[in-house]
Amino acid sequence: MTIYQIPFPYLQNNSERIALVEGEKKHTYREVNNRINQFATGLLRSKTDLQEERIAFFMPASLDYVTTMHGVWRAGGIAVPLNVASAVSELDHYLTCANVTRMVAGDEYQDSLRELCASLNIDLVSVEDVLSEESIALPEISAERRAMMLFTSGTTNKPKGVVSTHKTISAQITTLIEAWEWSESDVIPLFLPLHHIHGIVNILSCGLWAGATVHLYGKFDIPRISKQIVAGTYNVFMAVPTIYVKLIQYFESIDEGEVEKICNGFNAMRLNISGSAACPVKLFKQWKELTGQVLLERYGMTEIGMGISNPYNGERRAGAVGQPLPGVECQLFDEDNNPITDEAVSGEIRIKGDNVFLEYWDNEAATRESFKDGWFCTGDVAVVEDGYYRIMGRSSVDIIKSGGYKLSALEIEGVLLTHEMIAEVAVIGVEDDTWGEAVTAVVAIKNGKSLDYDSLKSWCEGKMSSYKIPKRLKIVDALPRNAMGKVTKPSLKEMLRLVGKS
Ligand code: MCA
Ligand code: AMP
């Protein structure tokens, strides 16, 4: 038997159950397993172990994606799934930072990646190019070996590579299987991007580990997904708050009878989950009124997978994220690094457990700074009320959560500052009903120049992923600064929030 550390039992046992559904195509676990082995064999070529070679891939949710991810794991490489919505200019950083040597891309992306890969000496291939006719014995890989690198924005200019081991990923999956009672009878749609934990671990990996069926969508295609919901295909649904908002907006655009059918489809499910950003209490209540579903909100982070969750059985509280998951240690700390033991006193969430990542790739200093006494410091502030954690905010104003994506204000500012009209800029996230926070650029323009929103937006295209492009532009004479010369972002944020409400 093949030995590798992330033990997906239904794949290893060649189950004849359906693992993946891609449009009209259905793939059994046996079929997927064989394809993964052929791919891993092809990756190895004459080697016996990839020895943590970084293999990037650029493709939407598909059989090819699963083949590549698991193939890299089984051959002993580090999987580096990239965001297919990235601007090519952003990919350079990911590929260079991770020292990627091979890139597996879907046919539709090959042309746009060719020049970049050639300039970085990266072998650009497709899954078909790699697949071998036969399967050889694959390497035995210890649990501590590095398995995956995901890029996350932080308080530094450029995204950092978060490295997880086979053990980390297994722990992140198994805690959710236990807590949310995954089983082989589950059927779930997957429409979230596959370069983040939410799509990769919570949906795809939990589904495949549990022997469930995962329906793959290239994007959040509301009409197609709704049709399946009406047909009663799914019993579990996981999404970011923006998706629930967008579904409600969609309901407002279609006739009442259709809305009722879709809501009945949701009502019949065993579980609806919201996460990746705060679920407003108003949204929690609206969803319950429409569908009868009490959303299960949970809290996670790229570096830890999921940490805290409302209970599957028991009260799911609006505006709260619940209790630490099985195997996850969670403690609030005050600013002097003292653990907080009193309820109702807020502090930073710190996490310990097998679910916690190994390191930021090639960045010892950042790794060291993010741990204190063995605890991973999340930068999120919470309070415990009556046994339930409630997220109060983040310690950094330079992190923005828009539609579930974590964005670095500094990274966006860095690009905007190269605009010839812009003298100074502060990027902030302003409270927004659809996106949670809307990226907003507060700009002081150079003397004698002018700038309007539309021209700024088109200038940004191609320079950053489209979801990072500011949704709003506010022109000011000069940025407000404190006595130290630092831009006072919290007061700017508050000012623009109030303007937005008026
Ligand atoms: C799309 N647009 C956005 C966003 N997404 N703008 C701001 N923020 C966004 N998140 C913009 C596009 O640039 C485009 O702008 C317009 O909206 C339509 O784009 P489209 O792709 O059609 O939009 P959509 O399909 O409706 O996408 C919205 C979405 C997507 C489905 C909510 O953003 C999404 O999949 N978000 C989830 C991300 C995620 O999985 N995060 C988890 C990471 P224009 O029209 O101007 O060109 S967090 C995580 O993993 C941790 C561990 C956790 O806790 O879960
Ligand atoms: P990411 O690094 O993209 O995985 O984003 C992780 C961040 O998302 C966390 O540090 C939190 O700030 C935020 N987050 C995730 N889930 C929630 C939630 N349920 N409520 C509030 N914030 C959340």
Map tokens 């923006």 to a residue.
Answer: 242
Q: Where are the domains of the chain?
A: 3-183, 197-345+380-394, 399-501
List for the chain the helix, strand, coil content (%; round to 5): 35, 30, 40
Residue 293 CA to ligand 2 centre (angstroms): 22
CATH superfamily of this structure's domain 197-345+380-394: ANL, N-terminal domain (3.40.50.12780)
**pLDDT 10s digits, 377-419:** 999 999 999 999 999 998 888 999 999 999 999 999 999 999 9
Measured between alpha carbons, how far is 425 from 444 in angstroms, rounded to an integer?
6
- Positive or negative CA dihedral for 289, 295, 297, 302? negative
Residue among 383, 429, 430 nearest 406 (CA):
429
**pLDDT exceeding 90 applies to what percent of the chain?**
89
Asked which of 262-266, 310-314, 340-344 is least confident by mean pLDDT, the reply is 340-344
**What's the token pair of residue 184?**
């082989």
Tally of residues, the chain: 502
**pLDDT 10s digits, 117-127:** 999 999 999 99
Predicted pLDDT of residue 501: 61
Residue among 37, 218, 48 nearest 130 (CA):
37
Mean pLDDT of 63-76: 98
Q: For 457, which DSSP code? A: H
| CATH of the structural domain 399-501, one choice from 3.40.50.1100, 3.40.50.300, 3.30.300.30, 3.40.50.150 | 3.30.300.30
Predicted pLDDT of residue 429: 95
CA R_g for the chain: 23
Q: How far is CA 50 from CA 167, 254, 383, in A?
A: 18, 52, 44
**pLDDT 10s digits, 206-215:** 999 999 999 9
**pLDDT 10s digits, 95-118:** 999 999 999 999 999 999 999 999
Name the fold adopted by 3-183: Rossmann fold (3.40.50)
Check pocket membership of 389 for ligand 2, CB cut-off 6 A: no
- Binning pLDDT at 50, 70 and 90, where does residue 485 land? confident
pTM above 0.75, yes or no: yes
Q: Which is more confident, 4 or 198? A: 198
In CATH terms, are 3-183 and 399-501 the same topology?
no
- Binning pLDDT at 50, 70 and 90, where does residue 1 land? very low
Predicted pLDDT of residue 6: 77
Which numbered atom of ligand 1 lies nearest the CA of 240? 37
Map tokens 């469930």 to a residue.
Answer: 212
Which numbered atom of ligand 1 lies nearest the CA of 465? 13
Task: Name the residue with the closest Cα to ligand 2, atom 12.
Answer: 380
To the nearest 10°, the Cα dihedral for 9, 10, 12, 15?
150
Cβ partners under 8 Å of residue 58, min gap 6: 82, 84, 91, 103, 104, 105, 106, 109, 113
Task: Give the number of whichever ligand sits closest to the CA of residue 471.
Answer: 1
Within its chain, how far is the Cα of 186 from the centroid? 22
Measured between alpha carbons, how far is 75 from 60 in angstroms, rounded to an integer?
22
Check pocket membership of 434 for ligand 1, CB cut-off 6 A: no
- Binning pLDDT at 50, 70 and 90, where does residue 497 land? confident
Check pocket membership of 391 for ligand 2, CB cut-off 6 A: yes
Check pocket membership of 401 for ligand 2, CB cut-off 6 A: yes
Task: Name the residue with the closest Cα to ligand 2, atom 7.
Answer: 301
